[in-house]
């Protein structure tokens, strides 16, 4: 009987001591992204027979031949960021204007199922007779920025930013922010050459 009285408190003591939490050393987590130096110091003029705009002097512009469809295609490549803005100019009429805007909207929102959100920002330049929308597509999507600019009558310019490799959206966020600034500057400088 005396052994039973001794075993229960001993068992309780062993259980109490074994429940003590183990201490784990955790390495501090980095909360900042590495600094990415902005390439280029300014902009250069790019023009074709339908439009004139300014692009970053860190970018390389390459014309794309496409004789099958009406329009003009060119790529604005940022080799240091492994990113390309695929651009197209389309002639439109008052009748085809709505279809061009609708296509741009559908292209941007085709990523909605994988996006964390899509933000739209409108731009207008009355002096150059341009207006448009920049779509910022957040999350794990292949195309973080799409945009279009138009005069709503005869000219329609569209672009999409792609990274050349699979990337983590969080790790390229500073680069995407830089390229967004370049895209906005390009939109604001755009003039039609009719």
pLDDT digits (tens, 9 = 90+) for 34-50: 555 666 668 899 999 99
Cβ neighbour number for residue 137 with a 10 Å cutoff: 25
Asked if 188 contacts 131 with a C-beta cutoff of 8 angstroms, the reply is: no
Instruction: Return the bridge partners of 25, or none.
Output: none
Measured CA to CA, the distance from residue 52 to residue 83 in angstroms comes to: 22
- Rounded to an integer, the average pLDDT of 86-112 is 93
Tell me the β-bridge partners of 140.
none
Top mean pLDDT of 41-50, 67-76, 154-163, 170-179 is at 154-163
* Cβ atoms of residues 94 and 107 within 8 Å: no
pLDDT of residue 170: 82
Alpha helices, DSSP H, located in 57-125? 97-109
What tokens does 20 get?
């003590």
Question: What's the longest Cα–Cα distance across the chain?
Answer: 107
Residue 13: DSSP 8-state: H
DSSP, collapsed to helix, strand or coil, labels residue 180 as helix
Can you say whether the dihedral through the CA atoms of 52, 54, 58, 59 is positive or negative? Answer: negative
* Cα separation values, 54 from 44, 88, 129, 158, Å: 5, 15, 16, 15
137: left (phi over 0), alpha (psi -120 to 50) or beta: beta
Q: Nearest Cα to 80, choosing from 42, 38, 52?
A: 38
Domains assigned to the chain: 56-192 (3.40.1000)
Going by pLDDT thresholds of 50, 70 and 90, the confidence category of residue 172 is confident
> pTM, whole model, 2 decimals?
0.78
């Amino acid at each position: 009987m005396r052994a039973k009285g001794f075993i229960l408190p001993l068992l309780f003591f062993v259980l109490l001591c074994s429940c003590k939490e183990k201490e784990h050393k955790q390495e501090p987590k980095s909360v900042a992204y590495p600094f990415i130096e902005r390439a280029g110091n300014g902009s250069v003029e790019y023009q074709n027979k339908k439009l004139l705009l300014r692009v970053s002097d860190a970018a390389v512009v390459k014309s794309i031949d496409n004789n099958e469809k009406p329009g003009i295609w060119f790529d604005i490549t940022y080799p240091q960021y492994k990113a390309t803005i695929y651009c197209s100019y389309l002639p439109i009429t008052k009748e085809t204007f709505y279809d061009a805007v609708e296509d741009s909207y559908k292209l941007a929102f085709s990523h909605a199922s994988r996006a964390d959100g899509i933000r739209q920002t409108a731009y207008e330049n009355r002096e150059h007779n341009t207006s448009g929308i920049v779509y910022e597509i957040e999350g794990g999507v292949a195309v973080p920025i799409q945009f279009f600019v138009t005069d709503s009558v005869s000219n329609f310019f569209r672009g999409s930013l792609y990274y050349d490799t699979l990337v983590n959206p969080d790790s390229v966020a500073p680069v995407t922010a830089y390229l967004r600034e370049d895209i906005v500057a390009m939109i604001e400088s755009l003039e039609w050459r009719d």
